[in-house]
Amino acid sequence: MQGQPISNGLVIGRLAKTGRTSSNKHVPLIIHTPDSEWQKYHDAQRKALQLVDELRRDAIEIQKSKKSLPTQARANETSDQELPEVMSSYTLLLTDEILSERIKDLVFGQSLDITSAVLQAFKDVRSVVESMGDQHIREKVLDLDACEELLLSSLSDSESLQTHQWSHLKGRIVVIQHPCPNDIIRFHQVGVAGLVSETGSHLSHAAILARSFNIPTVFGAEGILRMSSNGQQVILDAHEGKITINPSRTEQRKAEARRAVELMMQQKLKSSAQSVARTVDGQRIVVFANANGPVDARALKSSGAEGIGLLRTEFLHLNEHPAEQTSFIGTDEQLKVFFQLTAESISPGWATLRLLDCGGDKPYPPNNAMSMREKQNTSEGVFGLRGIRFLLAEQKLLELQLRALLRANTSGNIRILLPYITDVSEIRRVKAIAHSLWLDIPEDERGALHYPRFGAMVETPAAAQMLDHIAAECDFMSIGSNDLTQHYLCVERDNPNTQNLYSSFHPAVLRCIRSILEQQKHLDVSISLCGELASDPIATELLIGLGCVQFSCRASAIPLIKEIIRKTDVDEARRFAEGLLRLGDAEEIQQRLQLRYEELHARLLTAPGSRIRAS
């Protein structure tokens, strides 16, 4: 049986079905008054909010126990901050006025009992949300479901959310109808071995949670509840999205062998992650980490990162929950402290901080002219006032960031990366502004500071063509493969009509990357590659063949990428890449890379002492 892979891993175990059953059955009360019903709603709402709060606290606890770093408290509230975020979106929903007004109407106006009113109100809201059609918004329906369930279970005093009732799921491959984020947290707490759901999507909160807890997960396995029963043996292959119920002895043995290989691989990668990566013929390849939020330097270093190749600073300025103004870091003093902590923690490695990159298909920060215009629906499209263009238009914000970065560079390892460069004059202007800000810093403070280095993102066709001029103004450059793909292929990532055309393996994109990397030698600047392509293990050898010597990838991908580098021969990779670039078709290139990777994957395991093979 086939579903959508959500989170990696292969597990062999016993199946346990669970799910929401009680909340959908209810008998309307005959005797009730609107007042008593409304009171019940208030009690249920309070209970539900309490529960959300508990879950949120649990989530934070889990994070803390995951990374118990005593110092730099702020820098550590990190990577899976999605968790508390999910919970705060519940809080917002549960206290939503439109929702409670609608329930009030139904209770007082139509004399409905409270359970019916809640069901009706959620149904109304859901149909409005669903009619919006946007994929991201539709994910919110899942939050609605979760909140509805919370309210209903609080109303019926059901104990379905008590942990003790979940304990029988420990070590099991759990099968559910529908993934609710709060259920996923419970699953993690009791320690389920794997998770299969009939519905759910890759972008949902539930999927994010399953990934951040490393629970092997497959969604969209339609019909599995009907086809399976409790206690059956299952092989869950979350790499491929494949579920085998009641496997034969042979299937089981094969799965065990593959699982053994997987475990051995993890073990091996963990032990070699921190040493530097050289190719077979001795070429040193540097591997940096990308980060989207506050950085846990110890975790980055232990995954083998040699510095930060790209820290996106958007999270400091974008506030997804306008109700909570607190998450907005406003003053340059706060920014400075954050940048300084980050840079010092990762020293002596580079801390490459990218200036705010918003606009185009990325949202603007609140409270400025552009976000006002955005609200009035004058959409900018992909090629809008984006990245550096926006910063030069909103110079106050640019100055705020630059001043903080200049003052933060006590350890001398800060590099400032400019987003969405299309013209060399943009770099010159930013550098001029930075220099005048530098001179404004009191001399005694300046004495303890290092002037930072400047670099440009190469993510537009213009930048790729004007590389020599841009290089003359820069200390380093970074290829943004995601935007380069988008702009080279004239394909919007988020447009469902063109999504299937988006592929970084398109020969046009690869040829462009090759031409950029080829110029590296003459231009005397270092060029790294960030973006999804750098974290994709099937692309590593190809990229080395194209001349890439600096990768910046997702921290979790680093151990594997480093190991692939160690198995790669630069000359061979070059020949391999040349052959691929002669092909005209993205899909064919990707298939060949996949095949090549599978071969390599087998070779990665041929170390002394390992005789187990995945068959």
Partner 1 sequence: MACRITEYMKVEWIAPSLKATDKPSVLLEFATLVGSTRTDLDVREIYTRLMERELKASTGADHGVAIPHATLHDTSELMVAFGKSEVGVPFAALDNEDSQLFFVVLAPAKINPHQASYLQLISSICRLMRSQSLRERLLRAQTPAAIFEILKKEEDLKLAAPPTSSVT
Smallest distance from the beta carbon of 18 to partner 1, in angstroms?
15
How far apart are alpha carbons 141 and 133 in whole angstroms? 11
Beta-ladder partners of 477:
456, 527
Task: Determine which residue in the list 3, 5, 11, 553 makes contact with partner 1, applying CB under 8 A.
Answer: 11
Return the bridge partners of 415, or none.
Answer: 352, 453
> Which CA distances in Å does 105 have to 38, 113, 147, 509?
10, 12, 19, 56
> Is residue 5 classed as helix, strand or coil in its secondary structure?
strand
For residues 394 and 391, what is the distance between their CA atoms, to the nearest angstrom? 5
User: What separation in angstroms does the CA of 613 have from each of 254, 255, 260, 609?
Assistant: 9, 11, 9, 12
Q: Which is nearer to partner 1, 256 or 492 (CB)?
A: 256
The reply on whether position 610 binds partner 1 by CB under 8 A is yes
How many residues bind partner 1 (CB under 8 A)? The answer is: 27
CB of 169 to partner 1, least distance (A): 9
Q: Which two tokens stand for residue 162?
A: 């008590």
Binding piece for partner 1, criterion CB under 8 A, among 248-256, 278-286, 329-337, 453-461: 248-256
Cβ closest to partner 1, residue 13 vs residue 84: 13
**Pick 2 or 167: Cβ nearer partner 1:** 167
Report whether 165 contacts 189 (CB < 8 A): no
Length of the chain: 615
Q: Which of 8, 13, 120, 465 binds partner 1 (CB under 8 A)?
A: 13
Identify which of residues 99 and 215 has a Cβ nearer to partner 1 in the complex: 215
Q: Does 233 bind partner 1 (CB under 8 A)?
A: yes
Q: Which stretch binds partner 1 (CB under 8 A): 46-54, 252-260, 302-310, 405-413?
A: 252-260
Among 172, 362, 403, 415, binds partner 1 (CB under 8 A): 172
Among 6, 7, 12, 540, binds partner 1 (CB under 8 A): 12
| Relative orientation angle of helices 558-566 and 586-604, to the nearest 10 degrees | 80
Fill in the amino acid letter for 145: D
Question: Site map for partner 1, 322-361, x if CB under 8 A?
Answer: ----------------------------------------
Q: How far is the C-alpha of 326 from the C-alpha of 25, rounded, in Å?
A: 41
Integer Cα distance of 217 and 8 in angstroms:
7
Applying CB under 8 A, which of residues 100, 252, 283, 515 lies at the interface with partner 1?
252
Binding of partner 1 by 193 (CB under 8 A): yes
Tell whether residue 249 is a contact of partner 1 (CB under 8 A).
yes
Q: Which of 47, 67, 170, 373 binds partner 1 (CB under 8 A)?
A: 170
CA distance 338 to 360: 27
3-state secondary structure of 331: coil
Of residues 248 and 376, the one with the C-beta less far from partner 1 = 248
Task: Identify residue 8 by its one-letter amino acid code.
Answer: N
Q: Tell me the closest approach of the beta carbon of residue 323 to partner 1, in angstroms.
A: 40
Tokens 């506030």 map to which residue? 319
What is the binding site for partner 1 (CB under 8 A)?
11-14, 170-172, 191, 193, 233, 249, 252-253, 256-257, 259-260, 262-264, 267-268, 607, 609-612
